[in-house]
Amino acid sequence: MASLGLNLDEQKAVDRFRKTVVEPSMANLVILDFWAEWCGPCKALTPVLEKVATDYADKGVVLAKVNVDEEQFIASQFQVRSIPTVYAMFQGQPVADLTNARSESQLKQVLDQLLAQLPIGGAAGEAKAEIAQFTAMGEQVLAEGEADRAAGIFSQVVEMAPEDAGAHAGLIRALAQAGRAEEAEAALAAAMATPSVASDPALTQAKSALELLADRPDEGELASLRSAAGTDPANMDARLAYAEAAFAAGQRDAAADELLAMIHADREWNDGAARATLVKMFEAVGLEDAWVVTTRRRLSRLLFG
């Protein structure tokens, strides 16, 4: 599910969905039911879904419900056009549309087919759940500003799951934020050596983070760039160079202030380079970071207010 450009309420909705649906689906088959209080067919289907989920609980099947009136953003992401709409979710992805399976026998038939094909539960499922838990922990620690500690967590996850792109990406971003550029480059090279990881969008974001954070300026260099940007506000190249240097030096607010001022002055300059750079910074820090959430709201107000 896309995360860029979300407002605070949408981000909270994504976080709730991650905790109630995505995380359980890493080791279980989740029956995801989109419903509403006013929907008669939904209420008629609920007892069937609950019974089947109870009957199949020992096989790794759980039921999750999403009220479309309360979670309109999530419903829109799944392009729900009518209710009830029911999906089977595994490892964060829909694997079957169960909407037309309205009877107990129909649901069980489809679930039997899915359970025969997917590694639900057991050692494999527990391992995936554990990996997902550690990855989430690493992201949380990184969002709290403990880059070195986050790098240690992600490094352990990479050892446990060498093909987990999220873990590789987290390790690269954590090392970059900790100022350990050479180690981040080595981690990137190792990730690129695994084809399934190299092609993952998470790695593209990590590369952007490394590009932004790799070259940290000293105080003299930063002061010189700040002076050049302030002396000639019309020199957008100088202002962009200062914003990137400020971010690399750990001065996020200064970088964001400069880029937002550039967008306000001329949002189309250099094909929207200021906005693109700010988005890269969001990706580098992590989309759940408090600074990112606040700055993204400032960007939204500037663009759409």
196: exposed, middle or buried (C-beta count within 10 Å: 0-12, 13-18, 19+)?
exposed
Scan for tokens 């090279």, then name that residue: 189
**Residue 61, beta-bridge partner list:** 29
Quick count: other Cβ atoms within 10 Å of Cβ 207? Answer: 21
Which listed residue (39, 61, 248, 259) is catalytic? Answer: 39
Which listed residue (14, 29, 31, 42) is catalytic? Answer: 42
Please confirm, yes or no, whether 39 is among the known catalytic residues: yes
- Helix locations, 144-200, DSSP H: 147-160, 165-177, 181-192, 195-198
Give CA 199 to chain center in angstroms: 16
* Cα–Cα nearest to 92, from 57, 142, 139, 129: 129
Please confirm, yes or no, whether 42 is among the known catalytic residues: yes
Q: What is the CA radius of gyration of the chain?
A: 23
Rounded Cα–Cα distance for residues 305 and 290 (Å)? 21
Collapsed DSSP state (helix, strand, coil) of residue 94 = strand
- Helix locations, the chain, DSSP H: 8-17, 23-25, 40-55, 72-77, 104-117, 122-143, 147-160, 165-177, 181-192, 195-198, 201-213, 219-231, 236-248, 252-266, 273-285, 290-304
Collapsed DSSP state (helix, strand, coil) of residue 104 = helix
List the structure tokens of 16: 């709730």
Q: Which residues are catalytic?
A: 39, 42
